[in-house]
Structure 1
Amino acid sequence: MTTSRTGLRADLRRGALITAALALLCSVFLVLPAKADPVPFADCPAATLCLYSGPDGTGERKDFTDLQNQESYDAAWDGKTVSAQNNTALWACVYGDPAYGGHLETVMPGADDAYAAGTVSGHKLVPTRALCFTGYERCPDDRVCTFTGQNGRGTMTVHVAATDAATQNLGSSYGAEVKPRSAWNRTQKHVCFYPEPAYTGSWTDADEKKFGAYVVLRGDSVTVPAPFAGTFRSHELVTTTGDCQ
């Protein structure tokens, strides 16, 4: 069987066209974009601290603004945070215990962070990182506040001054459960703390020096040192420190 030149040229052209079509089809498949992986924390809104129940911004999300600082979470969310994205202009302070207590992590503006399950129980948003280490700002005006942790962290007790019927001392008496380890005196008077509920008692330090009262001047905040820390049972408000017992 013989093939004419015309038929051969036609076959060659058909072959070339098929080859070109196949090449074009392959190029189309080559340039099709692959399915992109989700961007971590992409769903976190602006001006928001987002907490997630899964790693890298996955799972359930809880949103907070700078007006929604949380000393602690309800039982459904406590310990649930595994990752966080701070899209606010503030520092995020993330705590292991309620009331700004326990282990502390700080998240700078625009950053994210990761946590082990069960290790986050509260947070606050503050202008500077240094404020993550304190909790004094919770104390209301014109009150004496004591805290179970240093630097105003831990459970806070707000003391409302009253006149004791027996002693006529203007102050407050409380039980061992208060355990003050720091205090802020936001009143206009000085505060004299005592180791006994009836505004009495004394301490002896390591140098055998005796103290009848531990004084916090008006407007001052303090982390209470040994041997006073955790031992206060009452305090009175006085005009001058010489009025302490």
Structure 2
Amino acid sequence: MNRQRTLRRWGLALAAVLTLICSAFLVSPASADAFDDCASGRLCLYSASGGAGDRRDFALGNNPEAYDGGWDDRALSAMNNTTHWACFYTAGAYGGTVKAVQPGASVEYPAATGSSHKLAPSSAHCYTGYERCPDNRVCTFTEPNGRGTMTVHLPTPDPVTKNYGNSYGTAAAPASVVNRTLKHACFYPQADFTGTWTEGTGGTTRYGAYVVLRGDSTTVPAPFKGTFRSHELVQSTQECQ
């Protein structure tokens, strides 16, 4: 009986000690005050780790493709106090390496490398940027999945084909495309809406126009990647040159 009473006392004492230890962890200075100045509904960047240093706040809908005011490559920590995922990018225009931070979470950076961000409804949206393209436009991007610098192509009449298209010469090298028009887009390797692609030993496989259907988007595969020099919009893919 005495032995049982002694064991019970030891159990109660051990439980009390564990409670004190757990309480000490919960009120540790490293986590108690960090980031608590970031208001609800805001994404906050900090110039030092642990939510210290200068702070810059962003609201939902404020998705800068380039930081101003000297914040490019400056943040060392951040707090996402919004209901959306925070998508951080090491390059401007949502390019470079991606870091997705869930709602209500903070993040530390080993080095200041952030150059742009957006707040998205899911983590999957962090890895695409097609939504930047306006309605009734074809947009090309320098990185896969609609990320990187975007070029918006304005439809203009072509005097020969009577279709709408753009010629963008040798300056463009799209890695991805979105077609937000009501027509199909035919892409060509020549600036005059012509040309073919070849693949295989001795060029035995030949391809005509690369087609992006109306409302569709794609990361451009080989052998087409980086070779588009013009495109036209057509009602039927049979109209491609």
TM-score by length of 1: 0.82
Decide whether the 8 Å contact of 2:169 with 2:190 is kept in 1: no
- Other structure's SS at 1:73 match: coil
Q: Which runs of 5+ in 1 are unaligned?
A: 1-34
2:73 equivalent to 1:79: yes
2:194 equivalent to 1:225: no
Q: After alignment, is 121-130 or 177-186 more displaced?
A: 177-186
1:239 maps to a residue whose letter is: Q
1:41 maps to a residue whose letter is: F
Aligned-pair CA distance for 1:177: 2.6
Q: Pick closer, same or farther for the CA change 1:36–1:234 going to 2, 3 Å.
A: closer
Aligned-pair CA distance for 1:206: 3.3
The alignment's C-alpha RMSD in Å is 1.8
Q: Which runs of 5+ in 2 are unaligned?
A: 1-28
What does residue 37 of structure 2 align with?
43
- Other structure's SS at 2:68 match: coil
What does residue 70 of structure 1 align with?
64
Find 2:172's aligned residue among 178, 192, 195.
178
Q: Per-residue CA shift, 1:65-110, capped at 9, x if unaligned?
A: 1121111112611101110000001000000001110011010000
Aligned-pair CA distance for 1:163: 1.5
Distance 2:167 2:205 in 1: 25
Distance 1:141 1:36 in 2: 48
What does residue 53 of structure 2 align with?
59
- Other structure's SS at 1:96 match: strand
- Other structure's SS at 2:126 match: helix
What does residue 9 of structure 1 align with?
none
Aligned-pair CA distance for 1:38: 6.8
2:152 equivalent to 1:158: yes
2:209 maps to a residue whose letter is: A
2:199 equivalent to 1:205: yes
Aligned-pair CA distance for 1:116: 3.3
1:216 maps to a residue whose letter is: V
What does residue 29 of structure 1 align with?
none
**Which one has the largest radius of gyration?**
1
TM-score by length of 2: 0.83
- Other structure's SS at 1:56 match: helix
Distance 1:44 1:201 in 2: 55
Q: Pick closer, same or farther for the CA change 1:46–1:136 going to 2, 3 Å.
A: same
- Other structure's SS at 1:50 match: strand
Number of residues of Structure 1 aligned to a counterpart in Structure 2 = 211
2:132 equivalent to 1:103: no
Report runs of 4+ in structure 1 exceeding 6 Å deviation: 35-38
Aligned-pair CA distance for 1:169: 4.3
Q: After alignment, is 47-56 or 66-75 more displaced?
A: 66-75
1:141 maps to a residue whose letter is: D
Q: Pick closer, same or farther for the CA change 1:166–1:54 going to 2, 3 Å.
A: same
Distance 2:161 2:143 in 1: 30
